[in-house]
């Protein structure tokens, strides 16, 4: 990557991570709010999950809007709304309904699709996947950091202080967008990184993608429901003060990350992605059952927590890769937008169900609910076809081929190793899926413009 691309990768990853950090920080502390005020577990669950609903509702519309008015206005507007929601929640003064309203407002600033599209606008096609990966990695880092520092800030300055901190993070994100991220010369509706309205129906009619959408919905439903009760278990059953919760979260996240990385490598390198996907879902089921049976005991609880996050980390990393594999080359960006919408919908339903079940049947009921949901997911995932391990490739076509796209597609499909082709005339690009080991690179070079760094 050249210097601008490195700067874009770092600055957009920072923007995305500070926003997600602000959202995730509430997850380990909102359940503790219940012990200070007369609120029900259901209302706590609603406050945890409500931002997922507004994210799900606005994710695709704001992505499409960014194609029309530009990426940076949508991102700055989204971060401003997030800051406003943080401001509302910070001034709630213990009123759970105002906190819920603030959290809903936070989620309305759904900037994920616009951020990914901006990254595509500002980088050369051959480096786009690296930029997307760096932004994706920032989400995982933000989650781990949020779990650690959220309870500490809550212990120091209370729940309102956590929201003031998220407001500060949103303002930092706005400054980064204005000062550190270049403005693209031209905005394109990228097929690999953006949501295209005309491709919504094909993406929604792909049965394998529907199974993947159900999977990410269930995964985040279980995770959010778990966190509607886990912070209280750490405090009430295991004797950790709020500021000490990091002593559980940090080691669990580090060890689970170390254990899940080899699984990810095996899945991709040795084409074992489907069996390991099913094994990881089974791991979640076992973890949920252990949670349910042993949440009142420290050792079983910690082991179940570790087991859960080994499965969670693997599934969180591998599912987007499967979406890309099951998508047609035309619909990848749109499929990812729908996938993200399903993820946030799972967060909303997980908060609602977690709070309701905790109120009716206690913490054990929440964990058994997760086991049931994971079992349903397993039955759905078994029907997934074995994925084809093709590599996405984007090339800038020579102008003479842009004038005859149908012929260009026919010619490109005849190249050894090329499996799918789609041409975007407005971008001057050809989107391909290729078998990397078989690809005739020399012949492919004759069709593309080679750009210098």
Selected residue with higher pLDDT from 127 and 98: 98
The DSSP string of 286-342 is: HHHHHHHHHTTSHHHHHHHHHHHHHHHHHHHHHHHHHHHHHS-TTTHHHHHHHHHHH
Q: Which pLDDT value is given to residue 37? A: 56
348 neighbors 48 (Cβ within 8 angstroms): no
pLDDT score, position 5: 81
- Pair 86, 18: CB distance under 8 Å: no
> Who wins on pLDDT, 18 or 224?
224
Q: How confident is the model at residue 65 (pLDDT cuts 50, 70, 90)?
A: very high
Nearest-5° Cα angle at 306, 155 to 345: 75
Calculate mean pLDDT across residues 21-25. Answer: 87
What average pLDDT does range 207-215 have in this prediction? 97
Looking at residue 141, what is its pLDDT? 87
User: pLDDT class for 122, splitting at 50, 70, 90?
Assistant: confident
pLDDT value, residue 418: 94
C-alpha pair distances (Å), 84 with each of 81, 107, 164? 5, 11, 10
Report residue 265 as tokens. 């490598």
Question: Tokens 């931002």 sit at which residue?
Answer: 51
Determine the 3-state secondary structure of 185 from DSSP: coil
> Which domains can be identified in the chain, with CATH numbers?
1-195 (1.20.1250.20), 199-389 (1.20.1250.20), 391-445 (3.30.70.100)
- pLDDT digit string (tens) for 406-421? 999 999 999 999 999 9
- Report the residue count for the chain: 453
Among candidates 447, 329, 442, 444, which has minimal Cα distance to 399? Answer: 447
Among 451, 398, 446, smallest CA distance to 423 is for 398
pLDDT number for residue 452: 52
């Amino acid at each position: 990557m050249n210097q601008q691309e490195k700067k874009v990768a770092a600055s957009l990853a920072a923007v995305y991570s500070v926003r997600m950090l602000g959202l995730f920080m509430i997850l380990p502390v909102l359940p503790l709010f219940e012990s200070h005020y007369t609120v029900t577990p259901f209302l706590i669950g609603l406050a945890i999950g409500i931002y997922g609903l507004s994210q799900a509702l606005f994710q695709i519309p704001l992505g499409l809007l960014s194609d029309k008015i530009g990426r940076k206005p949508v991102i700055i507007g989204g971060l401003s709304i997030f800051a406003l929601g943080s401001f509302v929640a910070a001034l709630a003064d213990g009123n759970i309904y105002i906190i819920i309203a603030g959290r809903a407002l936070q989620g309305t600033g759904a900037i994920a699709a616009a951020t990914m599209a901006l990254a595509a606008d500002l980088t050369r096609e051959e480096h786009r996947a690296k930029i997307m990966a760096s932004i994706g990695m920032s989400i995982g880092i933000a989650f781990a950091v949020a779990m650690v520092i959220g309870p500490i800030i809550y212990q120091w300055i209370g729940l309102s202080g956590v929201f003031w901190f998220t407001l500060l993070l949103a303002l930092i994100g706005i400054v980064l967008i204005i000062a550190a991220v270049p403005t693209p010369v031209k905005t394109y509706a990228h097929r690999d990184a953006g949501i295209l309205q005309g491709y919504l129906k094909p993406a929604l009619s792909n049965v394998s993608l529907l199974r993947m959408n159900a999977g990410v919905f269930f995964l985040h439903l279980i995770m959010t429901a778990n966190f509607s009760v886990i912070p209280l278990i750490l405090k009430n059953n295991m004797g950790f003060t709020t500021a000490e919760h990091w002593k559980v979260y940090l080691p669990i996240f580090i060890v689970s990350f170390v254990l899940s990385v080899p699984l990810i490598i095996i899945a991709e390198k040795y084409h074992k992605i489907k069996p390991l996907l099913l094994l990881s879902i089974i791991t979640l089921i076992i973890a949920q059952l252990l949670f349910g049976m042993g949440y009142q005991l420290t050792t079983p609880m910690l082991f179940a927590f570790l087991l859960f996050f080994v499965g969670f980390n693997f599934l969180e990393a591998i599912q987007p890769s499967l979406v890309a594999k099951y998508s047609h080359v035309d619909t990848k960006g749109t499929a990812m937008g729908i996938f993200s919408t399903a993820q946030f919908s799972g967060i909303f339903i997980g908060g609602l169900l977690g709070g309701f079940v905790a109120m009716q049947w206690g913490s054990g009921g929440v964990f058994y609910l997760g086991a049931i949901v994971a079992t349903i997911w397993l039955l759905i995932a078994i029907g997934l076809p074995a994925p084809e391990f093709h590599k996405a490739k984007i090339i800038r076509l020579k102008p003479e081929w842009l004038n005859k796209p149908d012929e260009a597609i026919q010619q490109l499909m005849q190249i050894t190793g090329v499996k799918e082709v789609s041409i975007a005339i407005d971008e001057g690009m050809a989107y391909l899926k290729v078998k990397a080991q078989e690809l005739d690179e020399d012949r492919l070079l004759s069709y593309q413009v080679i750009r210098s760094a």
